[in-house]
Structure formats: structure tokens, C-alpha cells
Structure 1
């Protein structure tokens, strides 16, 4: 981590090092939040927790700027915990290990075999660096650090009216320097649960595991349009195509760990008759070659393998297996529709993030995103229809609203003009398909004027996550200039 000390802005990178050193996966952010509170206490910075655990810090205006509109810098405390297969990292115990890598398009910071947490650690670090530096010019300032953004937006859902005084909110959770976000998709979680019954393992059958690994994965909002493979879907495709002809009997199925990350690895434990073993091995090799051909431009490390595992005692009954494989193969995944209102932006998508086998059922966890409420409802209905056909139960939860764009936003104009003045070009004004907390903030604070900015982060929610160093410097320069340019009340 010492290699980050030379990076500029030093205050921001110093905070990011600290953030990386303290485990903070979703629902395990308490240690990091406590550290920030203790620091604030030492620095005599006002701070308080709200009823759900969000941390709010505040700082008076710089000399001569008390008449400016109050600004809230907002970030989330948690990070997505994803790691490469075979990595012993424990996200609840071990620090993230960042390092610098030089590539053709510049220098980046990434992590060793895990997600980096630049989403949203860089934004959090920037807000804390502003609080720590008394030379920065700003009006009345608050920093809102929310909990559990990545696993349910619990902090944003629980934010109460009357706690925040600022009139402007700058969300720091965007992931493309040079783009300003004025809106985002809403989302909803859907769970499909298919009851399964079991019977005795057929006599003489061998037990093997099929493993589809090496996929890139990624953020189900940012990367859903890139054509990256979803291991759950690709494994289901193989099983639906060949389980019946080979007489395979399914024992266990699992893939993915987060509904908002594109699944990188999936595993099926199956029983196979000895006389079909050679043909299964041939088809596994053939399917690996087929997928490597189809996804050659994207999934360069894809592997599909077969290995022996301990013998099982029971397998799924044939009818339960048939319905499950049909459901998994038929369920949609990826882009459902592109936006007409915002060219190049995904309007509606579905990510089949998690498949897991329980004692008497198989659960499938999906995340639907859409900038259009009716589009979100349509995909929920699609899954409900499939569940009816397959004899599964379909339930939805955690719906959160999108952030409706406001083309007349005063803070949008300030950021746009400030960016042009600094860098000599106009930024791109965008709506992002990923879910930001801004839409939820509008319920308790309907008058908030909001904008979202950030540095360039590639492949968030995957172990390939990296942040572009030069873009962090530009983001920081923009943030400070915007704080200075906030108009009077």
C-alpha cells in the first residue's frame, strides 16, 4: 500500500489507503464508520448517527463564504465483496491490498484478487479529505455517509427528514470522469423459489462437479450491456441441452453471491452413469471451446471443467430437475430494452445474480433495473409468468425509485460551467443505468438540488475493478472548484 503515498491529491489517497485497510463489506461497515467517528472527534468535527446508522458530519463555512448555499457531499460506506476463485481473502477480516498498474491508457489503482472498493471508497475519501483540509474554500458543508448501499440501500431508505440542512447534494458515486449524472435507474429484487424433491442416487452412478469459472463478472448496472457472460445462465444452457440425453441427475447447483454482480462462477454437482462419463467429458470440452469462440472478445479466461467429488446419497427427482433447468434456461438476463429518451443508455435490464440450493428448494435471486417504472413492472411480470409455468414461487422486495432528471437543475449548470472553465470542454450530461441513492433522498428532501460526479472506475463489483489515477486528480480539481463556485442563498 505504500506505493499509493506518492499519488496526488495526497489527502484523498491517504484516506483511500485508510479505507482499504479497514474491512467494510456491505452490512459489515461498523469498524470503518467507528474509525471515521473517532477521527472526527479528534478533529472537533461535528458528527452524529441517525436512527439507521448513517453517519453525518458537518463543518462551518470557510471565512467569507457563510452566505453560500449549504452543500451535502454524499458517499456510501460499504463495498461489494468479490474475489477470484481460490483466493483466501476474508472481507470481514482482511484489508484490501491496492497497488498501481501501468497500462496503455495510463496508470490505475487495482487490488490483489479482490474488488478494490473504489466504488464508493474514492468518493468517500474525497469527502473526508475536504473535511480534513482547512485550506479548501466552501460554504456550509455536510458529509452524509450511508450504510448498506450495495446490498439494499438500507441507509438511504431510512434517512429521515430534518437531519440535513444543505440545499445541494453532490453524490460521489459516479464512475466516469467527464460525465455528469442527473438521473439514474430504479430497481427491484426478485426471488424465484422452486420446490425440489429428492430420491436415492441411482446404483453405480458417479458423482462429478461441473465448474464454469474465469468470467469477468462486473456491475449489473454499469456492465450489463457489455456482453459479459453470466455463469449461471451459461451453465444452465449446458445442463438444459445435455442433461436429458446423458441421463445426468442433478444433486446441487450454485452460482454467484450478490444480486447486483454479474455472476463469474457457477457449479453443478451431478451424477452420471459410468457408460456416459466419456461422452460427458467430450461435451464439456466441446462446450468450453464453443463458449470461448462466442465470447472471444470479452471472456478470455473462461474455463469449463469436470472433476470427481465425494459421492452423494440423493439426487433431484426427474420432474423437479426438468422444471428447474427449463426455468433457469428460459429466464431472461441482460439488456431488455435500450432507452429512447437517452440514446446509448440501457432502459431496462435483468441480472440473474445468485442461484443457490437449499434443503428443499432452489432459490434464484435477480435484480431488475429500469429508468421507466412500467419497464420494471413488465420484467417482474415476465418472471412471475415463468414461475407459474415452472411451478415456482415468485416474490419481489426492496423496490427503490429512480432519480428523475431535472434539466433545469442549478447545480448541474454550475458543475457544467465549472468543468468547461477548468478543462476547456463541455462534460457529457448523462443518465446512468446503475442505481444511485439520489432517488431515495428525494422523498424526505424533495427540494434537494442534486448532481453526481466521480472519477473513472472500470469493472466495479468484480476483482478486475480499477480506478484511473489521472481521473481522480481531475475529479478532485472539479470538486474543489464547484465547492468554491456554489452561489449565495
Structure 2
């Protein structure tokens, strides 16, 4: 157990980790850390490439006796999610992170720690700087913009690599071997708005669907949590016996987040107000019955507003909006037959927004099977056409399919059994990581992903297990050493 940061920095991995926490590296602001990596390589006379996307590739020759072992690509990303508590004064563009040790855990103080994926950078630096550690020839690639678009990985030139074995260091669970991830694409449906004026004797209300848990659409979609957009669509569709006009609909924070809240503004006659309230009360009973296990606090609420009768949706626009909410695919679409409990394909309607010209519906489509991803896109496009809307896709990234014949996985399994006298757990995730992009770029690439226990990533409470980080480091070293005798 380490009592303080001074003790912890005696470990070479955490010495490097502390060093990079002093360098600004929010996604989109990676120039400083990228240049640091280049300087690190130059000082040690290592071959280094920095491309236009600020990705850095550093190559190191095999240690004596490992010249015959296939070259290994080690991969992580240099950027981090920059979040802080509301009452925290911290400028991510210049201020170093304030690290603190708490038992077995390392935190930053009231900000994200950047262990995702700074620990991979620290592992890479420790290996590149080592003098006697046995290893095959290494091609270390540290990418940019992973946390947003994976733009760095997409920009990497595959001609820079000789290796056909990839060890990704961006997992967050110790003693688990990640062997597959989903590909994804953002689907965008646009409903053009025709505005109309209406009569003055109407009352305005804001309807809110709230009280939902939400969650990451890759990690939580199988939990059948309520989607506020889809629920709002159902409610408005069933509101046929209460004549109303519609003015706007907004909600959701990101395509890959299950929306927790959705608001719609409607206008009705005074004599229909009680009927609307009764309808909401009935639907609250219905939804609490449907979602009592996943979202017991769901609530549809009503707030009176001063109406603006000069600007409401035409009946055609209203119809397109509700039809879109009803028809856009959402939720789990298929489960894996190879890995028990793994979602194979899904889609999440994450954002609905109203502007002066259109209502936009943004969905996150995922699948570990390319053809199934394409099928969901096709069905989403058909739903848009049936609703009279425009459709497009963006941010398409490839899947990482499970490889039952992976040789590098067998090496990791063998070393884990010998080192810990227990089997490593084989896992897959219904989320996107960069392995899929590299596999798509480098034919025949054999990939695996490992990492230490990281908790509450992307939040100011992010922390990493110190013992787990050191265990993963030693496990990685043992695997690299064992490659001398492995069949790769």
C-alpha cells in the first residue's frame, strides 16, 4: 500500500503517469502531449513518426534473443475526457491535474484523472525507456481524438507498420481479455418544419417525460431502460382524443446516451385541460407498471406555459414528428450466439431537437456484425422515408469481430493461467474501441485488449486501482517475454 504520491512515483509506470498529467490533453487539444511523446523518442534515439493528426508512432528494436519474434503493435490514445465538479477552479488548458492517493486508489482532485487512457501511455513510455526488459520489436502507436470521433485512428497510415499482432491497452477491467467490440454509425433523421399561426384562446403546456436512469447506449442498452424519446412518441401518438397543436420537442444529451428526459410543448383549448391531466395520470400508472424494474421513478409531468399562437407545427409536421418517434428503431436488435449475454446489435434514439427549420432525430447504431449494422441503417432509412423525412449517416466506424483462432489470445490465456493459476475471463463489449479500425486497416491483424481496473471514467470521480495497474503492467511484461516461445 502506498501512503502518498511520493511513494507511488517510485514505480516507473506511475512516474510516467504523473508526468503526463501535467500536460494538457483534452480531446482536440493534444499538441502538447503529442510533442512530448516525440521528444521522448528523440532523446532516446528511437524512430518516431508524428502525422498530421498528431498521432505518434514510436518504434523500438527487439531485445537480444527476440529478433525472430513477430513485431508487436502496442496501442492506446493520448486524449482524455476533461470534466470537473461545478465548484472546482481548474483550467484544463494549462493546469496540471492534482493527484492524490487514497488507499489503493489514485484520483485527481475534483477532475477527471485521465487514466482512460493515460495509463496506456505510461505503460508504453515505461517499455520504450526500459533497458533490460525482454520484448519483441515494438511499434507503439498513441492516437488522438479517441474520446469523440476516433479521428486519430482513422488517420493512421497502415504503411507505417510491419506488425500483425496488436495489443490495445484501453480496457478497464483487470484479469479480463477483451476480444471483440461493436462497430457503429450515427443515424440522423430530419423532419422539415412548416409553421402556422393559430387562434389565440389556447393554453400552452410543457409535457416532460423524466425520472429515467438513462445510461451509455453501448453498456446499458440490454437493461431495457426507458427511452424518454420513444416514450414521448408513444404518449403523443395516443393523445388522439385530446385535440392539440405542437410547438417543439427537445431532449437527450448525446446519440450514445439513453435519453433520461424529453420535453414537448403543446397548445390545447381550455375545455380539454382536465382530459389531458387525466390522460397523463393514466399513462403514469401504465409506465410505472411497464418500467417498475428498470425505471421505477419515471414520471410524465405537466407545466402550464404562456402560449405563442403565432408559431405552431402544421398538422403535416406534427404527423412527421410523431411518426418518426414511433418508427425509428430503438433498443436491442440481436444477441450474440457466441458470447453469452453479449448484445450483438442495437440502436438508440439519443437526441431530438427543434430548430427554426427542422426537427432532428439522432441515433447511435451499433453491431459487432457489419451486415447487421447495415440492416439497421436500412430500416432506419426506410422509417425516415415513410415519415417523409430526410436521412443521412455520419461517424461510421468498423466492428471488431470475435476471432476464434486468435493466437495472441492463446498466449495471454496461457500466461494468465501460469501466473495466477486461474483462467482469464474472455469478454466482448457492445461499444466501439480502436481495434476495429486497425483491423480494418491492416489485413490479418490479430488483436487483443487489456487494462487495469478503472472506475467512474469520464467523471470527476474517476480513479484507478494502483495494485491493478501494476498487476496489468507485470502481466504485459510476462506476455511479451513469453512470446519468445509462442506460436505467432
Counterpart mapping for 1:283-432 below 5 A:
291=287, 294-299=290-295, 305-307=301-303, 312=308, 313-432=310-429
Counterpart mapping for 1:171-182 below 5 A:
171-182=168-179
Q: Distance in 2 between matches of 1:279 and 1:30?
A: 59
How far residue 381 of structure 1 moved from its aligned partner, in angstroms, is 2.0
Is 1:267 matched with 2:268? Answer: no
Single out whichever of 16-25 and 428-437 deviates more from structure 2: 16-25
Aligned partner of 1:69 in structure 2 is 70
Is the CA contact (8 Å cut-off) linking 1:419 and 1:427 kept in structure 2? yes
Q: Distance in 1 between matches of 2:292 and 2:478?
A: 43
Q: Distance in 2 between matches of 1:226 and 1:9?
A: 43
Task: Select 1:148's aligned residue among 123, 126, 145.
Answer: 145
Is 1:157 matched with 2:154? Answer: yes
Is 1:225 matched with 2:222? Answer: yes
Q: 1:268 to 1:152 in 2, by over 3 A?
A: same
Aligned partner of 1:254 in structure 2 is 250
Counterpart mapping for 1:98-117 below 5 A:
none
Note the residue ranges of structure 1 that are not aligned, 5 or more in a row: none
Is the CA contact (8 Å cut-off) linking 2:229 and 2:259 kept in structure 1? yes
Counterpart mapping for 1:169-208 below 5 A:
169-200=166-197, 202-208=199-205
Q: Considering only CA atoms, is the larger Rg found in Structure 1 or Structure 2?
A: 2
Where 1:351 maps in the other structure, the secondary structure is: strand
Kindly provide the CA deviation profile for residues 422-441 of structure 1, in whole angstroms up to 9, marking residues without a partner as x: 22111133343322322322
Kindly provide the CA deviation profile for residues 108-136 of structure 1, in whole angstroms up to 9, marking residues without a partner as x: 96995x87655444434433444455565
Is the CA contact (8 Å cut-off) linking 1:5 and 1:13 kept in structure 2? no
Single out whichever of 386-395 and 72-81 deviates more from structure 2: 72-81
Single out whichever of 71-80 and 209-218 deviates more from structure 2: 209-218
Aligned residues: 483
Is the CA contact (8 Å cut-off) linking 1:9 and 1:476 kept in structure 2? no
Normalising by the residue count of structure 1, what TM-score does the alignment of the two structures yield?
A: 0.80
Where 2:159 maps in the other structure, the secondary structure is: coil
Is the CA contact (8 Å cut-off) linking 2:78 and 2:142 kept in structure 1? yes
Single out whichever of 220-229 and 310-319 deviates more from structure 2: 310-319
Where 1:191 maps in the other structure, the secondary structure is: strand
Q: Distance in 2 between matches of 1:68 and 1:248?
A: 71
Where 1:52 maps in the other structure, the secondary structure is: coil
Q: 1:283 to 1:126 in 2, by over 3 A?
A: farther
Superposition RMSD in Å: 4.2
Aligned partner of 2:439 in structure 1 is 442
Q: 1:306 to 1:449 in 2, by over 3 A?
A: same
Normalising by the residue count of structure 2, what TM-score does the alignment of the two structures yield?
A: 0.81
How far residue 324 of structure 1 moved from its aligned partner, in angstroms, is 0.8
Q: 1:298 to 1:55 in 2, by over 3 A?
A: farther
Note the residue ranges of structure 2 that are not aligned, 5 or more in a row: none
Q: Distance in 2 between matches of 1:88 and 1:289?
A: 44
How far residue 482 of structure 1 moved from its aligned partner, in angstroms, is 1.6
Is the CA contact (8 Å cut-off) linking 1:219 and 1:460 kept in structure 2? no
Is the CA contact (8 Å cut-off) linking 1:196 and 1:320 kept in structure 2? yes
Q: Distance in 2 between matches of 1:285 and 1:94?
A: 51
Q: Distance in 2 between matches of 1:352 and 1:162?
A: 38
How far residue 483 of structure 1 moved from its aligned partner, in angstroms, is 2.4
Kindly provide the CA deviation profile for residues 173-205 of structure 1, in whole angstroms up to 9, marking residues without a partner as x: 334333223333322322111111112364244
Is the CA contact (8 Å cut-off) linking 1:110 and 1:467 kept in structure 2? no
Is the CA contact (8 Å cut-off) linking 2:369 and 2:401 kept in structure 1? no
